[in-house]
Amino acid sequence: MRLVWFRNDLRLADNPALRHGCADEEPVAALFIISPTQWRQHKIAPIRQRFMLAQVDALGRELAALGIGLHLLRVETFAEVPAALADLCRELGVTRLYANQAIELDEQRRDHGVTAGLAEQEVSCHWLNGCCVLPPGRVLTGGREMFKVFTPFSRAWLKALDEDGFVIHRAPAPRGEPLQWQPLAERVFVDEMLGELTPDPRWPVGEAEALRRLHAFLEQAVLDYGETRDFPALAGTSILSPYLAAGIVSPRQCVAALQQRLGARPQSKAQPGFVWLNELIWREFYRHLLVLIPTLSMNRPFKPETVALPWSWDPDAFAAWCEGRTGYPIVDAAMRCLNATGWMHNRLRMIVASFLTKDLHIHWRLGEDYFMSQLIDGDLAANNGGWQWAAGTGADAAPYFRVFNPTTQGQRFDPQGEFIRTWVTELADVPAAYVHQPHDWLRLKGRQDYPAPMVDHAVARVRAIEMFRDLEKT
């Protein structure tokens, strides 16, 4: 018996672990492990947990139709996984375990424990690359080291992809008679944990839905992506991140679909489609970094010297930021959108992260944790990379003297205030000319229903720059 362990790769197509597990006529079973205590410790958002389990439910039905049974284990923490998995393998008569490798430190430690434990039962473990287009360790400098800077990584990644190529594999063929699948909603141990498992209508699950979104974006928006991607009121992005984070669609499927749409894979910024491809390369870069520098999984900065920065931990200011009541309309709209939907536009992620770290001088770790606790697409590598970039502590970080002005960012990327008025209802009737700085207009109307700016950006910017300059001196 072969066992295929699904994790953040909840798909049938282009799934190396599933493909290798189904490579011959030997019986195959599948597994998904629910670890609610560990998920809470990792700040996994409830909306992401529900999305993931709804996809597990859909995956279980699809596997059952192929004659592959999906087993569910509830194991509270990763430390308990090796023993629980050894028991299941013994019960099923498993001789080989297949899974796509994890890149996060706790997950890698869990997998090392699984390998060691199953070796005692003479069960071989096979770890495949299912999370990246090119596996960590493939893209190297001339000195045979992994990259720490994005631009040379991007060039080397493109070259390596040209050399290696890749093939998108279809879902496996049926393995036998269809099996029955008991929906997760009928399973008490799931229902008690998360309550109603009905998928959020904003985020339908399923590989077909992920591919529909991918191809719709490529047909309708990818050619204009470079011009529209920064405007949150426009439908200029793919909104595929939840599906990539859960592995419902693979990054290789995205690259292959882009290449098919354009007739060739773009190689430079001057070519159509490259801007979106570059975002996929950024995703790869952060994932490779997480493997190269395990301390990124441990709340440590990429630049070790920045651990000495005198960050604030002001709970009241942090709460105002979380709840979208900073007095800066674009920041507040972005945070309220996140809290209501579990998703935030990428330009807005940069704006609110800059505001928290450079205007409020609050530690980026608090922002990183809060995002993970809310995001449906929460992904450690991308989230950590983005926050450290904004805070000035990470790889390819913006120079410390480059501090986003939240007012001018709003004026530039939401010029008519459409996005702001959607989420900050107190400003719904404020004219576009005043919506980014509404306080004088509201005062003339005798209204006090929207907070004053909690900080003076000009003053806060100077303090942020001083923090880094003082660090350089020491």
Active site amino acids: 279, 282, 311, 346, 364, 387
328 is in an annotated binding site: no
228 is in an annotated binding site: no
Cα 359 to Cα 249: distance, rounded to the nearest angstrom: 37
H/E segment holding residue 107: helix 105-119
312 is in an annotated binding site: no
Helix (H, G, I), strand (E, B) or coil at 62: helix
302 is in an annotated binding site: no
Contact criterion met (CB below 8 Å) for 82 and 5: no
Residues 6+ apart with CB under 8 A from 185: 57, 191, 196, 197, 198
25 is in an annotated binding site: no
Cα 152 to Cα 172: distance, rounded to the nearest angstrom: 37
282 is in an annotated binding site: yes
237 is in an annotated binding site: yes
423 is in an annotated binding site: no
Task: Quote helix, strand, coil % in the chain, to nearest 5.
Answer: 55, 5, 40
225 is in an annotated binding site: yes
Cα 368 to Cα 80: distance, rounded to the nearest angstrom: 27
321 is in an annotated binding site: no
370 is in an annotated binding site: no
DSSP state of 140: B
Helix (H, G, I), strand (E, B) or coil at 400: coil
286 is in an annotated binding site: yes
166 is in an annotated binding site: no
24 is in an annotated binding site: no
285 is in an annotated binding site: yes
379 is in an annotated binding site: yes
Write phi, then psi, for 97 (nearest 5 degrees). Answer: -115, 135
Taking CB atoms within 8 Å and a gap of at least 24, the contacts of 229-236 are 229/275, 229/276, 229/346, 229/347, 230/347, 230/413, 231/347, 231/413, 231/414, 232/334, 232/345, 232/347, 232/348, 232/413, 232/414, 232/419, 233/414, 233/416, 233/418, 233/419, 233/422
Contact criterion met (CB below 8 Å) for 77 and 37: yes
Q: Which residues are annotated as a binding site?
A: 225, 237-241, 276, 279-286, 377-379
Q: Which residues are annotated as a binding site for FAD?
A: 225, 237-241, 276, 279-286, 377-379
